[in-house]
A and B are shown apart, each in its own frame.
Chain A
Amino acid sequence: MTDEETWGPRPLPDVSPETERYWAAASEGTLLLSYCSACDLYIYHPRARCPDCFEETEWAESSGDGTVYSFSVAERMEGWPEEDLPLVVAYVELDEGPRVMTNIVGCDPDEIAIDDSVSAVFRQTEEDDVAVPVFQPS
């Protein structure tokens, strides 16, 4: 699912050779995870070697679905765009397992609760091949 809103002027990720594909997939509306077939483990944040066994990982598509594990609503944040406050910083537990840090968007912060179902949406940055996954109530 794509989102009409864009990411800027929020901080841009540093794209490395190891994570290039993750950000590029996001710009095409797909949330990627690293997957270790030896451990049957979905890994976040993505990395080339499994942090459990050091075998090479492969890329796996996440459903983008999960539930809110926890969240905090920032009323003020120095250095953050005013128009983006209050900001909901959250951990979402993906259906595949990993707890990923993100933002919850598209709803009133007062209406969010732990265990709510959410799904990924993607916000395009000024770079064509870099989009950032965030989550909204599903």
Chain B
Amino acid sequence: MSEPVYIAGAFEHPTREAPEKSTMQIHAEVAAGALDDAGVSKDAVDAYFTAGVPEMEHALTPLMATDYLGLDVDYADTTDYGGSSYVSHVGHAASAIRDGKCDVALITLAGRPRSRGQATGSGTRELRTVQDSFERIYGATNVTMYGMAARRHMHEHGTTSEQLAEIRAAASHHAQYNENAMYQDPVSVEEVVDSPVVADPLHLLDCCVISDGGGALLVVSEDVRAELSRDCVEVLGHGESPKHHDAGRIDITATGAVESGKQAFAEAGLGPEHVEYASIYDSFTITVLEAIEDLGFCAKGEGGKFVEGGTLRADGDLPFNTDGGGLCSNHPGNRGGMTKVIEAVRQLRGEANPEVQTDADVALAHGTGGSIATRHGAATLLLGTEGSA
């Protein structure tokens, strides 16, 4: 049995649009928030984790960020899988703590795509990677790529637009209780299907919000936790699996969650049947559907039927994204893995919004960063209340 590691602090920035702030300012605000939440002093931080800062490419991120934040650390990691990075960072921090490299790991995310007027899902961008010359030039954007995944899933498994819409409807049902959510009005399956087509077969309401903001987590060792009065959440298992185009053999109906979920469940000694709450990355409705299948909550191809009838609502069989998720509440900096972990922590601490609070002792947080149609980082965490392991 490896040394227990805990999430002691979690903070989601309340903003969804921050034209008056800089991105690094938001990093500092969420860092302070997570430290306050845990009751840990800044001087105790000895490890720092973040992914790239969107408007600062080639920034030597760990140097730039520790300098700005005034952190004196012994360990840093800037693994960048896109939106799932922060789910991975929790696992990396747990490993570093168990290796004796550090005791208090701070993870921060911030971004301002809304204030910067960034065309996130439907916009082309300059060519950066070797693959862009074979993908971006054809108009491969987030929404066209996830649209292709949705169409292929529909073709192979008979999944319908109405079934995808169930996912948005459940998220919107939860968002009505979140005063910080960008979209707080519940929507019906019909309203999702009737919303404008962005990239066929995906509609506008199949897509996540574009929001400014951020969040932070504090991961600590057993020794540090013993000194805290705050309820902590135990990190039970972690897995991650970057999946790619595989020289042309890609199957866009399945994700890296097949592997990352397997790893996380094995480490925790648990199975999907033990999960009482799930935060599942929801860049698009199809992102959720494929992950639900790949994590083993139902058989491959059965996701459409699985989500029908309110399964994903707080009072359903698999309560998911009770904050409203990226679809309705927040997708800070186009990177939603952070808020996935934060809402799972809230659920386990009993700090979710009362109308959507479950009695979960075991929660899952899953990230899908990048594109399921080309390459993405899948990362899965299993979290539990103290003593649940």
Bound Cα distance from A15 to B148, whole angstroms: 27
B261: Cβ under 8 A from any A Cβ: no
Residues of A within 8 A of B122 (CB): 74, 76-78
Quote the shortest CB–CB distance from B153 to chain A (angstroms). Answer: 9
Asked if B199 is an interface residue, CB under 8 A from chain A, the answer is yes
Select one of A41, A43, A89, A109 contacting B138, CB under 8 A.
A89
Q: How far, in whole Å, are A98 and B133 apart by their CA atoms in the complex?
A: 17
Q: How far is the CB of B30 from chain A (nearest CB, A)?
A: 29
Contacts of B127 in A (CB 8 A): 11, 13-14
The residues of A that contact B149 with a CB separation of less than 8 Å are 70
Of residues 93 through 120 on chain B, the ones whose CB sits less than 8 Å from some CB of chain A are 119
Question: Which B residues lie within 8 Å of A94 (CB)?
Answer: 248
Cβ-based interface call for A97 (8 A): yes
Expressed in whole angstroms, the Cα–Cα distance for A114 and B249 within the complex equals 17
Residues of chain A at interface, number, CB under 8 A: 43
Residue of A19, A45, A77, A101 ringed by the most chain B CB atoms within 10 A: A101
Residue B123 at the chain A interface, CB threshold 8 Å: yes
Known: A72-B151, A77-B141, A89-B148. A44 touches B248 (CB 8 A): yes
Residues of B within 8 A of A76 (CB): 122, 198
* B137 in contact with A99 (CB, 8 Å): no
- B230 interface hit (Cβ, 8 Å): no
- Is the Cβ of A78 less than 8 Å from the Cβ of B124? yes
Nearest B residue (CB) for A51: B247
- With contacts A72-B202, A79-B125 taken as known, whether A12 is within 8 angstroms of B137 at the C-beta atoms is yes
Q: Does B64 contact A (CB under 8 A)?
A: no
Known: A13-B133, A14-B133, A99-B249. A73 touches B199 (CB 8 A): yes
Whether B155 lies near A72 (C-beta < 8 A) is no
List chain A residues, Cβ under 8 A from B123. Answer: 77-79
B135-160 residues with Cβ-Cβ distance < 8 A to A are 135-141, 143-145, 147-152, 155
A120 part of interface (Cβ distance < 8 Å):
no
The winner among B132, B138, B147 for most chain A CB atoms within 10 A is: B138
A4 within 8 A of B: no
Q: By the criterion CB–CB under 8 Å, are B148 and A71 in contact?
A: yes
- A100 contacts which chain B residues (CB < 8 A)? 134, 248
Taking a contact as CB atoms under 8 Å apart, the answer to whether A70 and B148 are in contact is yes
Contact B124 A11 (CB under 8 A): yes
- With known contacts A74-B122, A74-B143, A132–B200 Cβ distance under 8 A: no
B252 to chain A minimum Cβ distance, whole angstroms, is 6
With both chains docked as a complex, state the minimum distance between the C-beta of A5 and any C-beta of chain B, in angstroms.
Answer: 15
Question: Would you call A40 an interface residue if the criterion is a C-beta within 8 Å of the partner chain's C-beta atoms?
Answer: no
A75 at the interface (CB under 8 A from B): yes
Query: Which chain B residues lie closer than 8 Å to A97 at the CB level?
Result: 248-249
Q: Which single residue of chain B is at the shortest CB-CB distance from A39?
A: B247
A-facing residues in B199-220 (Cβ within 8 Å):
199-202
Given contacts A45-B134, A77-B139, contact A98 B249 (CB under 8 A): yes
Interface pair A72/B147, CB less than 8 Å apart? yes
CA distance A98 to B248 in the complex (A): 4
Chain A residues closer than 8 Å to B246, beta-carbon distance: 51
Assuming A74-B143, A75-B197, A99-B250, is B130 touching A11 (CB within 8 A)?
A: no
A127 at the B interface (CB under 8 A): no
Which of A16, A44, A91, A134 is within 8 Å of B130, CB to CB?
Answer: A16
Residue of A nearest to B248 (CB): A98
Q: Tell me the bound Cα distance from A44 to B150 in angstroms.
A: 23
Partner of A75, one of B124, B199, B250: B199
A87 at the interface (CB under 8 A from B): yes
Q: Which of chain A's residues have a CB closer than 8 A to the CB of B250?
A: 99
Q: Which A residues lie within 8 Å of B22 (CB)?
A: none
A119 contacts partner chain B, Cβ-Cβ < 8 Å? no
Of all chain A residues, which has the CB nearest B146? A72
Q: Is A59 an interface residue (CB 8 A)?
A: no
- CB A124 to nearest CB in B, in angstroms, measures 14
In the bound complex, CA of A70 to CA of B245 (Å): 14
- In the complex, the answer to whether A101 meets B138 with C-beta atoms within 8 Å is yes
Given contacts A99-B250, A103-B138, contact A90 B199 (CB under 8 A): no
Docked CA distance A12–B137 (Å): 6
**Per a CB cutoff under 8 Å, which of A45, A80, A99 touches B124?**
A80
**Interface pair A91/B148, CB less than 8 Å apart:** yes
Which B residues are CB-close (under 8 A) to A103? 138-139
What residue in chain A is nearest B155 (Cβ atoms)?
A114
Which residues of chain B are near A102, meaning CB under 8 Å?
A: 138
Please determine whether A19 and B144 come into contact, CB atoms closer than 8 angstroms.
no
Would you give 15 A-B contacts (Cβ < 8 Å), ordered by A? A16-B130, A45-B133, A45-B134, A51-B246, A52-B247, A71-B148, A71-B151, A72-B143, A72-B151, A77-B124, A98-B247, A100-B248, A101-B134, A109-B200, A114-B151
What residues make up the interface of B, taking CB atoms closer than 8 Å to A?
119, 122-125, 127, 130-141, 143-145, 147-152, 155, 196-202, 245-250, 252, 373-374
